[in-house]
Amino acid sequence: MTDFAMGPALLFCPADRPERFSKAAERSDAVILDLEDAVAPGAKAAAREALISHPLDPAKTIVRVNPAQSHDFALDLQALRDTRYRTIMLAKAEGREDLWTLSGFDVVALCETARGVLKATELAEEPNVVALMWGAEDLVASLGGTASRADDGGYRDIALHARSTVLLAAAAAGKHAVDAVYVNIPDLGGLAVEARDAVASGFGLKACIHPSQVPVIREAYRPSAEEEQFARELLAAAQHEGGVFTFRGKMVDGPILRHAEQTLRRAGHKG
């Protein structure tokens, strides 16, 4: 797995709102300064200037640039040359050719179109791609649809398919996967359910759009004391067992041990 220690809660911040930069950095694990959808066309030049003149810690900052085929993409890269930021999120990534001008950058490839999702495996295999992220709303728009979620708040099947495809592609290439944002800001309960599912499914990080969502995501990724203790005791028992064994009435084999190891990693333990 690539080293991408920026999580678990990534907070989007419009790049044309420099007065929010420091607050976003203080309230999240990493900031995504957004030059794309969060910035109106007429404000993009000002956003690039703000990116240069209001620096944040580059180790905890990602810059979302405009799609590779857009006019703004070249201007974004030109602005980045005057900063220390070297981790970028490529909006609407659709194939390895989109990455040809991005050597020297660590790239989070955002798969949010039909072509992008279908090219997720190709994108994940590129050497400078450190993670994949998926996006529901742009994806459904690219399909001609109108909503990524059903009336009950859950994702439609096509969105779930894209989510799974991107997660599998990232894992197969040894890269991290970032779960999409939860756009219903007041619904912290719904966010908690989705974040817990992201953890259980294997997403290493989750993006968000409001500071109130950060603690909910952090809590989802933080194992409970009971979960951490169980994982410790299970791994300790494994030191005295060979092959498959029983622990507290349950069968334990290799995958179960790896689940325990992941729990301890999320609790802040290494190895």
Please check whether residue 134 is in contact with residue 163, taking contact to mean a CB–CB distance below 8 angstroms: yes
DSSP track, 123-140: HHTSTTEEEEEE-HHHHH
**DSSP secondary-structure letter at 70?**
S
Distances in Å between the alpha carbon of 203 and those of 30, 90, 118, 222? 16, 19, 19, 13
Are 138 and 92 in contact, with CB atoms under 8 Å apart?
A: yes
- 36 marked among binding-site residues: no
Burial class for 129, CB neighbours closer than 10 Å (0-12, 13-18, 19+): buried
CB atoms within 10 A of CB 100: 10
Is 246 strand, coil or helix?
A: strand
> Cβ neighbours of residue 100 under 8 Å, at least 6 residues apart?
none
User: 138: annotated binding-site residue?
Assistant: yes
**Known binding residues:** 64, 112, 138
| Annotated binding-site residue numbers for Mg(2+) | 112, 138
Annotated binding residues for substrate, written as ranges, equal 64, 112
